[in-house]
């Protein structure tokens, strides 16, 4: 018998009708002879509503309490899915993260999974039950409830699939898979049948938000295949895996983009060891998450340092950077909040430098100015004017002939 782990996000369980549809979906998989474990997120806006409630009683809700509060959202959803399944005549049981044996460290609001005690789940599966697990949560050694942070339910699903030695982890969402670009911007964008873990990581971190990187990384480390597909439309979806069956490599697989990017440039930085460390330690301590960092070549022992942050962190980042600039005797500090990112993603691009040239050429011909360039092994990213991001996606999609399989 095949064991499947399926994950359903918040929009898939947003109301009673959708919950019934999810139950139907699960019943189908069960009737096809599979053992089924489902991980569900909180219904629709539940988490936001609970956060708002907490803010009404406390200016700084303690993380330990916040975790216990938020964990109820997923528990509500998973009991309702279990009820709907029972209503359709199937044996089903809901389990909280603690009951499902999801053991984590005590890092409240961002806990890491230490292990999964699968005994209870196996016991329920052996009795022919569909097991519904509350995503996003776990339990510490001291029986305190933790949450896993952003993308937590994806991570729960992949961790369970690994611990249960499932055939694969299926992530059901409101899109039909991973596309060559965002279909809302480029209508000719094509669903990919399969992508590698590393390509998925670059696609997701650069804006094609289908599932969370942390879960993809976990899948990669344990080589757990992940299928991303639509909850409410049948279709093959996209298989994220690292198998030998991958499509031709050395090819651009997709265009990722991101808006809401802000840039901070610190001019005239003395070229001494430890300077960058001082700056980024200060920012990290202030809770500012820095994305891309670029340091230009040193001219006369002075260098320019540029980094990007999310837009809502810009003000604080500028403030901190100015303080550090004074300390280390650097020059001006400039911020720019009107930027976006566009990236081409594909395995093995670094060894085929023609891609970069083709990318820059396409943007140039469209009159789009490049503010900053960064690359990884499988990605080339340009920072551009936010307003030009949709144009850039379309022109790159065409330049790399992504409308054709």
Please identify, using beta-carbon distances, which residue of 85 and 318 lies nearer to its own copies: 85
Phi, psi of 104 (to 5 degrees): -130, 170
Binding letters toward its own copies, positions 81-120, x by CB under 8 A: xxxx-xx-----xx-x-xx--------------------x
Among 116, 145, 192, 211, binds its own copies (CB under 8 A): 145
CB 23 within 8 A of CB 15: no
Rounded Cα–Cα distance for residues 78 and 346 (Å): 37
CB of 23 to its own copies, least distance (A): 8
Taking the CA of residue 120 as centre, how many other CA atoms within 13 Å lie in the half-sphere pointing to its CB?
A: 16
The angle formed by the CA atoms of residues 157, 175 and 134, to the nearest 5 degrees, is: 25
User: How far is the C-alpha of 379 from the C-alpha of 355, rounded, in Å?
Assistant: 10
Q: How far is the CB of 72 from its own copies (least distance, A)?
A: 4
Cβ 21 vs Cβ 231: under 8 Å: yes
DSSP string, 98-154: TTTTEEE-S-TTSPPEEEE--HHHHHHHHTT-EEEEETTEEE-TTS-EEE--TTHHH
Given candidates 11, 29, 45, 65, which one binds its own copies under the rule CB under 8 A? 65
Which of the ranges 24-32, 52-60, 293-301, 369-377 carries the binding residues for its own copies, by CB under 8 A? 52-60
- Which CB, 28 or 281, lies closer to its own copies? 28
Q: Please tell me the count of residues contacting its own copies according to CB under 8 A.
A: 40
Contacts 24+ apart (CB under 8 A), 307-313: 307/263, 307/264, 307/280, 308/261, 308/262, 308/263, 308/264, 308/339, 308/341, 308/372, 308/383, 309/262, 309/264, 310/260, 310/261, 310/262, 311/260, 311/261, 311/262, 311/337, 313/262, 313/288, 313/289
Is the Cβ of residue 145 or residue 330 nearer to its own copies in the bound state?
145
**Closest separation between CB of residue 83 and its own copies, Å?**
4
Q: Which of 29, 54, 246, 356 binds its own copies (CB under 8 A)?
A: 54
In whole angstroms, how close is the CB of 265 to its own copies at the nearest point?
A: 39
Is the Cβ of residue 56 or residue 285 nearer to its own copies in the bound state?
56
Q: Which is nearer to its own copies, 17 or 300 (CB)?
A: 17
336 is a contact residue toward its own copies (CB under 8 A)? no
48 or 315, CB closer to its own copies?
48
- Choice from 59, 248, 274, 404 touching its own copies (CB under 8 A): 59
The span of 139-147, 166-174, 215-223, 353-361 binding its own copies (CB under 8 A) equals 139-147
Interface residue with its own copies, options 14, 23, 275, 393 (CB under 8 A): 23
- The total of other beta-carbon atoms located within 10 Å of residue 384's CB is 22
- The two three-digit tokens of residue 329, written as one number: 């005797």
Min dist. Cβ of residue 68 to its own copies (A): 5
Count of residues in the chain: 405
The distance of closest approach from Cβ of residue 61 to its own copies in the complex, given in angstroms and rounded to an integer, is 5
For residues 147 and 303, which CB has a smaller minimum distance to its own copies in the complex?
147
DSSP assignment letter at 191 = B
Q: With DSSP H G I counted as helix, E B as strand and the rest as coil, what are the percentages for the chain, rounded to 5?
A: 40, 25, 35
37 binds its own copies per the rule CB under 8 A: no
Task: Kindly indicate which of the ranges 140-148, 277-285, 311-319, 355-363 contains the residues binding its own copies, using the contact rule CB under 8 A.
Answer: 140-148
Asked if 249 contacts 347 with a C-beta cutoff of 8 angstroms, the reply is yes
Are 283 and 317 in contact, with CB atoms under 8 Å apart? yes
> Does residue number 76 form part of the binding site for its own copies (CB under 8 A)?
yes
Scanning 60-68, 162-170, 204-212, 327-335 for contacts with its own copies by CB under 8 A, the matching segment is 60-68
- The candidate with the shortest Cα–Cα distance to 212, out of 288, 275, 136, is 136
Chain residues binding its own copies by CB under 8 A are: 16, 19-20, 23, 50, 53-54, 56-62, 64-66, 68-69, 71-72, 75-76, 79-84, 86-87, 93-94, 96, 98-99, 120, 143-145
């Amino acid at each position: 018998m095949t064991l499947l782990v399926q994950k359903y996000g918040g929009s898939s369980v947003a109301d009673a009708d959708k919950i019934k549809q999810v139950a139907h979906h699960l019943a189908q998989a069960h009737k096809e002879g599979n053992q089924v474990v489902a991980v569900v997120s909180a219904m629709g806006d539940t988490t936001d509503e609970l956060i708002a409630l907490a803010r009404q009683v406390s200016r700084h809700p303690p993380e330990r309490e916040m975790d216990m509060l938020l964990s109820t959202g997923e528990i509500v959803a998973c009991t309702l899915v279990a009820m709907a399944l029972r209503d359709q005549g199937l044996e089903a049981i809901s389990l909280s993260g603690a009951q499902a044996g999801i053991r984590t460290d005590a890092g409240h609001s961002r806990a890491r999974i230490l292990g999964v005690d699968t005994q209870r789940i196996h016991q329920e599966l052996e009795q022919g039950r569909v097991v519904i697990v509350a995503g996003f949560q776990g339990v510490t050694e001291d029986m305190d409830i933790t949450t896993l942070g952003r993308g937590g339910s994806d991570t729960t699903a992949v961790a369970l699939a690994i611990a249960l030695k499932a055939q694969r982890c299926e992530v059901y969402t409101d899109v039909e898979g991973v596309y060559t670009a965002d279909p809302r911007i480029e209508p000719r964008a094509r669903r990919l049948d399969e992508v590698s873990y590393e390509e998925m990581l670059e696609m997701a971190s650069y804006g094609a938000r289908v599932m969370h990187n942390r879960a993809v990384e976990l899948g990669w480390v344990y080589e757990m295949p992940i299928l991303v597909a639509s909850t409410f439309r049948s279709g093959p979806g996209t298989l994220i895996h690292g198998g030998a069956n991958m499509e031709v490599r050395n090819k651009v697989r997709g265009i990722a983009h991101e808006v809401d990017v802000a840039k901070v440039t610190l001019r005239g930085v003395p070229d001494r060891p430890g300077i960058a460390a001082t700056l980024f330690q200060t920012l990290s301590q202030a809770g500012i998450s820095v994305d891309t960092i670029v340091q230009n070549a040193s001219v006369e022992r002075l260098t320019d340092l540029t980094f990007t942050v999310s837009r809502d962190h810009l003000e604080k980042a500028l403030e901190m950077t100015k303080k550090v600039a004074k300390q280390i005797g650097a020059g001006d500090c400039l911020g720019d909040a009107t930027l976006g990112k566009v990236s081409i993603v594909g395995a093995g691009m670094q060894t085929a430098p023609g891609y970069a040239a083709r990318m820059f050429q396409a943007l140039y011909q469209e009159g789009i100015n490049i503010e900053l360039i960064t690359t990884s092994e499988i990605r080339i990213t340009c920072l551009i004017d936010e307003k030009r991001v949709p144009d850039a996606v379309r022109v790159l999609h065409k330049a790399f002939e992504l409308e054709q399989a």
